[in-house]
Amino acid sequence: MDYFAYKNKKLYCEDVNLQEIVEECGTPTYVYSKKTLERHVDVYKNAFKSHKNLICFSVKSLSNISILELINKKGCGFDVVSGGELKRALHAGADPKKIIFSGVGKSHDEILMGIKYEILSFNIESESEIKRIEEIASSENKVANVAIRFNPEVDSGGHEYIKTGRKGDKFGISSEESVLKIAKYIYKSNHLKLVGLACHIGSQILDLQSYKLTAKNIKDLSFKIKDLGNELDFLDLGGGLGIPYEQDDTPSPQDLISIIEEELKDMEERIILEPGRSISGNAGILLTKVEYIKDNFLIVDAAMNDLLRPALYKAKHDVWSLKEDDSNSKAWIIAGPVCESSDIIAKDIHTNAGEGDTLAIKTAGAYGFVMSSNYNSRMRSAEVLVDGKEFNIVRTRETFEDLIKNEIDLND
């Protein structure tokens, strides 16, 4: 559920008429709803009936600092995958004891930063990585907390590019033998502490049976690991819950958590989840103006550099006009100005919008702005956060100076 809706035929975000944002900030502009973000966090937190838990918001899905601050205030932790994301989370006031660091390619400096801040866990993905973390912890005379990320061999649906939990995928550790060998290694080390077991099976998952199977696999493996040494602090089932992009009937966080709690009912460990899209996805839209009408195309001022998902994954986003459309409206292809044939934002969109009107590309909060680029030397868009009747710019539109600021002109 989100707080984007028509009132008197005008599209609102909470109590703000989106046309006001267009007039003040221009387009393309990302707009996020604070109430929607907070509601989604509450739904996750309130869904747990019996287990101790921690919701670690996946920073990669939406990483604006003002948004991380409000998620931090709701008591969430964070799932980060780079030094930049770790710094963002800390900048937003996160408690390092609630930060999970995932990713297959953590660099020396990223590991050092995590060790210095004593984060909750490095979710490790290879034997080489565990040795590197141990070496750095030893040189700092510290003990690093680690969890082993394994592949539960679950094929969870979704686009090929966002599946992650199968044997042979680049993420996680596929062989059980390897997981147990790493656990033994950690137990013997003076600079490593095994705190958890983790997995993440993919993204935009609509079939909850995948999670049931994953929970069972993580439970079975945790017994084998505990037989070798200490208790664990947590079992981390990652993120991945799907959301409705086109009025799909999608499972809710409550459905997900009740399946997980049922499967893990006798387990003492905390349950950690790392949701991204299911918190941020439908909390954001991208406003874009129709520049030209040509044949059956509406050429708009947002492009694949602003929202890459349709070009990269053939992802479908619904598009609404700021003025409510009648049912007889014609079907259009919404295309961006970038010089690539794949710069198509959506197809078969029924709208009466004409040149100069503004459209809202829906469900763009997750993997929207964060995946934007300067391709075609386009300035990245502004970001706005709505809070009730008010709205604030939380990132200004880039300028030409921003675009070239790291370039060195050899003629100067």
Catalytic residues: 339
Q: Cα torsion for 336, 338, 340, 345, to the nearest 10°?
A: -20
Looking at residue 397, what DSSP letter applies?
P
Q: Minimum distance from CB of 121 to ligand LLP (Å)?
A: 12
Q: Minimum distance from CB of 57 to ligand LLP (Å)?
A: 9
Contact (Cβ atoms closer than 8 angstroms) between residue 187 and residue 249: no
Phi, psi of 266 (to 5 degrees): -95, 5
Q: Minimum distance from CB of 172 to ligand LLP (Å)?
A: 9
Out of 2, 85, 274, 301, point to the residue binding ligand LLP (CB under 6 A).
Answer: 274
Nearer to ligand LLP, 286 or 366 (CB): 366
380 binds ligand LLP (CB under 6 A): no
Residue environment code for 278-295, b if the CB has 16+ CB neighbours within 10 A, otherwise e: bbbbbbbbbbbbbeeeee
**Contact flags string 293-322 toward ligand LLP, x per CB under 6 A:** ----------------x---x---------
User: Which residues within the stretch 51-80 sit at the binding site for ligand LLP (CB under 6 A)?
Assistant: 58, 61, 79
The DSSP element (H or E) to which 89 belongs, if any, is helix 83-91
User: Which residues within the stretch 98-157 sit at the binding site for ligand LLP (CB under 6 A)?
Assistant: 102
Q: Which amino acid is at 356?
A: G
Strand pairing class (4-7; 10-13)? antiparallel
Nearer to ligand LLP, 196 or 275 (CB): 275
222 binds ligand LLP (CB under 6 A): no
Out of 253, 276, 284, 365, point to the residue binding ligand LLP (CB under 6 A).
Answer: 276
Nearer to ligand LLP, 26 or 96 (CB): 96
187 Cβ contact partners less than 8 Å away, ≥ 6 residues apart: 194, 228, 229, 230
Contact (Cβ atoms closer than 8 angstroms) between residue 4 and residue 33: yes
CA angle (171 as vertex; 63, 148 as ends), nearest 5? 95
Out of 88, 106, 163, 200, point to the residue binding ligand LLP (CB under 6 A).
Answer: 200
Residues in touch with ligand LLP (CB under 6 A):
58, 61, 79, 102, 162, 200, 203-204, 238-241, 274-278, 309, 313, 366-367
